[in-house]
Amino acid sequence: MPRLLLVAFEANEAVQGAGFAKDLGLPFDVLAVTGEGLVDLGAEKVLNAGLSEVPAADALGKAIANVAGGYSHIAAVSSMRSKDVMARVAGILDAAMVTDAIGIERPTVFRRPMVAGSVIATVEVLAEPIVLTVRPAGFSKPDRGGGSSVETVSLETSSKARRVSVTARGGARPDLTQAKLIISGGRPLKDAETFERVLGGFADAMGGAVGATRAAVDSGIAPNELQVGQTGKIVAPDLYIAVGVSGSTQHMAGIKDSKIIVAINKDPDAPIFESADYGLVADLYEALPEFLQKAKSG
């Protein structure tokens, strides 16, 4: 019988992926890699690996493949990590893979963006198992409840890679993939100090998250984990504010599921104005303080 294994590296990925599982319409289990994600989301069973950290991709790919026997579908929420790991799973299982699925027509037919989102392809997979990464914004809200049973599983995580250090930036801002409000900036932010002072201060005042363009990351203005776009994080907030962002194709591919996009740019011909719901031609250093003042005043 067809059945889905939903892989959750972290708790929020279980919540995000459960909407896809609901729309797929198959019974499903959750593999909670780090022991997070034990929330009841309608799964029949939660396989709790309970690892203290997510292993290297080569080890995790083998481990997931070892527990995926008998499943017709193996899926994870789209991210740079999941695409790395799930591609390895597909290779080990000699399975077809669909990346960045945004819709389901039936359990073997999926829609996914191509050419940075300018083309939506309909892909039919002719053999099982099917390995997928999914963009959660296009799917239903997950069901709550259902009385999932919890089973402890052991994952073999020996790897050819060795982690030599871990650096955490910390901070209390919401995760980009979960935030309801995101403010992103590009190269006009000049340097890391200006980026943090201007965008970070705005985000903290509004309770939002901070994002960045690839150009800002490549220039050393923003850290890599803040990159939004086709080669960064795919986001779908209620409000996305882009300041000093030209609107490259790869960046727009990462924010196209945002409910409202607001663009602030002093270049009236910036491509982002073609996709934004609201646009303001202004200097970001003048517009943002006024924007924040008006937002606080109600």
CA–CA gap between residue 199 and residue 189 (Å, rounded): 9
- What type of residue sits at position 79? S
Whether 10 and 148 share a structural domain:
yes
Q: What is the pLDDT of residue 66?
A: 94
Closest CA to 156 of 235, 76, 56: 56
Q: Is 138 within a domain?
A: yes
Please indicate, yes or no, if residue 288 is contained in any of the structural domains.
yes
Could you tell me if 243 and 281 lie in one domain? yes
Domain assignment of residue 176, yes or no: no
Residue 63 near residue 156 (C-beta atoms within 8 A): yes
Using DSSP bridges, classify how beta strands 181-185 and 149-152 pair: parallel, antiparallel or unpaired: unpaired
Q: Do 220 and 128 belong together in one domain?
A: no
Over 90: is that where the pLDDT of 63 sits? yes
Q: Give the structural domain span for 293.
A: 181-297
Shared domain for 140 and 85, answered yes or no, is: yes
pTM for the predicted model, two decimal places: 0.76
Shared domain for 215 and 129, answered yes or no, is: no
Same domain, 123 and 203: no
Tally of domains within the chain: 2
Domain boundary at 108, 137, 152, which?
A: 152
Look at residue 197 and give its three-state secondary structure: helix
CB atoms within 10 A of CB 47: 21
Q: Is the pLDDT of residue 147 over 80?
A: no
From residue 96, how far is each of 8, 19, 86, 129, 231 by CA, in Å? 20, 22, 11, 7, 22
Clarify whether residues 135 and 22 are in a common domain.
yes
- The CATH number assigned to the domain holding 91 equals 3.40.50.620
Question: Considering the domain boundaries, does residue 35 fall inside one?
Answer: yes
Predicted confidence (pLDDT) per residue in 189-220, tens digit: 989 999 999 999 899 888 899 999 999 999 99
Of 108, 134, 152, the position where a domain reaches its end is 152
Which of 106, 133, 152 is at the close of a domain? 152
Q: Is 224 helix (H, G, I), strand (E, B) or coil?
A: helix
Whether residues 101 and 19 share a domain: the answer is: yes
- Could you tell me if residue 105 is inside a domain? yes
Question: What token pair was written down for 229?
Answer: 């776009």
Whether 102 and 233 share a structural domain: no
Domain-located, residue 189: yes
CB half-sphere exposure, 140, CA atoms < 13 A: 11
- Whether the pLDDT of residue 240 is over 90: the answer is yes
Residue 276 sits in a domain of what CATH number? 3.40.50.1220
**Per-residue pLDDT, 163:** 76
Tokens for 219, please give them: 């220039």
- The answer to whether residues 13 and 144 belong to one domain is yes
Q: Is 18 inside a domain boundary?
A: yes
* 16 and 142 assigned to the same domain: yes
Q: Are residues 125 and 239 in the same domain?
A: no
Residue 169 included in any domain: no
d(CA 237, CA 251): 15
> How would residue 242 be classed by pLDDT, with cut points 50, 70 and 90?
very high
**pLDDT grade, residue 145 (50/70/90)?**
low
Tokens 């599982």 belong to 21
Structure confidence at residue 36 (pLDDT): 60
Q: What percent of the chain has pLDDT over 90?
A: 54
